[in-house]
């Protein structure tokens, strides 16, 4: 029998986290202060957390601390825990998709998706044939079958983000971090990507954090929506169950419904209130 949620450590936990860049210098800037939260590990489910807030409020810093990037990690004070253990650096249990298309220009789609597998091949006991098979499964899942021999410059923006998603998910991370991944895409492509990521999220059963400037996107994707205050950032408001679960629905149809528009209005009002508290 699987252990109950209560017996598992949180998948991610922040304990009174502060992050000050260039501390002790005239350029010191505190991005986060007093940030505490826990996201429980939901076996076989995972949770989708949408993070919104004013520019410069520390949204991306939260993701970078979870990932353990050395230009941000460690926090100035407080604790960042993943599955009950302090973060010590990036790991294959955490995947990340950035706003800017992050494919390696000299690698084909196939070789971009095998990149993480190659880094961890000894740990995972993989040979080239197995890595290629695993990569092709995800290339097909993100709708890029037939494009595996192309290079990034031969792909559209939406296709390049599909490559980035496949490269992250091929390692089956328990946590997926997405930093404004769809902001550079046109609206129809953005709807396509919202549909894709929710479908894949069901399959990998991971906990997902997405930073977005789109309140509609935050409400559609998020099981919870966190509103971050002006820097130094903390969670000023949290919204749960704004609308019935929409992950299996058509994004365009859902976002045209009256219930959805009402929920967006609630979050937009809160955003305006946070903006006015500068």
**5-93+176-275 placed in CATH 3.40.50.2030:** no
| Interatomic CA distance for residues 27 and 153, integer angstroms | 38
CATH 3.40.50.300 boundaries in the chain: 5-93+176-275
CA distances from 196 to 45, 142, 161, 205, 245 (A): 17, 7, 11, 14, 16
| Interatomic CA distance for residues 183 and 252, integer angstroms | 16
pLDDT per residue of the chain (278 residues) written in tens, 0 to 9: 444 445 789 999 999 999 999 999 999 999 999 999 999 987 777 899 999 999 999 999 999 999 999 999 999 999 999 999 999 999 999 999 987 767 899 999 999 999 999 999 999 999 999 999 999 999 999 999 999 999 999 999 999 999 999 999 999 999 999 999 998 889 889 999 999 998 888 888 899 999 999 999 999 999 999 999 999 999 999 998 776 666 677 888 888 889 999 999 999 999 999 988 87
**What phi and psi, each to the nearest 5 degrees, are found at residue 5?**
-55, -35
Sign (positive/negative) of CA torsion 171, 209, 43, 216?
A: negative
If one counts every other C-beta atom within 10 angstroms of the C-beta of residue 71, the result is 6
Using a 10 angstrom Cβ sphere, with 0-12 exposed, 13-18 middle and 19 or more buried, the burial of residue 129 is exposed
148-155's contacts with Cβ under 8 Å and 24+ in sequence apart are 148/108, 148/109, 148/110, 149/108, 149/109, 149/110, 150/108, 150/109, 151/105, 151/106, 151/107, 151/108, 151/109, 152/101, 152/103, 152/104, 152/105, 152/107, 152/109, 152/112, 153/105, 155/109
pLDDT, position 250 = 83
pLDDT, position 101 = 66
Q: What is the pTM of this model?
A: 0.91
């Amino acid at each position: 029998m699987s252990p109950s949620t209560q017996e598992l450590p949180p998948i991610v936990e922040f304990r009174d986290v502060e992050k000050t860049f260039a501390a002790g210098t005239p350029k010191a800037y505190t991005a986060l202060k007093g940030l505490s939260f826990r996201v429980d590990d939901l076996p076989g489910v995972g949770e989708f957390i949408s993070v919104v807030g004013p520019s410069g409020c520390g949204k991306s810093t939260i993701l970078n601390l979870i990932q353990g990037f050395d230009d941000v990690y460690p926090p100035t004070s407080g604790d960042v825990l993943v599955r009950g253990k302090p973060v010590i650096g990036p790991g294959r249990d955490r995947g990340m998709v950035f706003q800017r298309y992050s494919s390696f220009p000299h690698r084909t789609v196939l070789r971009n998706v095998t990149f993480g597998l190659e880094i961890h091949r000894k740990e995972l006991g993989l040979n080239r044939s197995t890595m290629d098979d695993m990569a092709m499964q995800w290339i097909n899942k993100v709708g890029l079958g037939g494009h595996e021999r192309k290079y990034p410059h031969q792909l559209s923006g939406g296709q390049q983000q599909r490559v980035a998603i496949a490269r992250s998910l091929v390692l089956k991370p328990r946590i997926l971090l997405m930093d404004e991944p769809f902001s550079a895409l046109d609206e129809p492509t953005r709807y396509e990507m919202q549909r894709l990521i929710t479908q894949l999220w069901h399959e990998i059963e991971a906990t997902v954090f997405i930073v977005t400037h789109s309140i509609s996107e935050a409400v559609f994707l998020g099981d919870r929506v966190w509103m971050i205050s002006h820097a130094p950032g903390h969670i000023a408001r949290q919204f749960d169950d704004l609308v019935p679960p929409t992950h299996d629905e058509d994004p365009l149809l859902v976002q045209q419904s009256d219930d959805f528009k009402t929920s967006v209005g609630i979050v937009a009002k809160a955003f305006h209130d946070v903006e006015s508290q500068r």
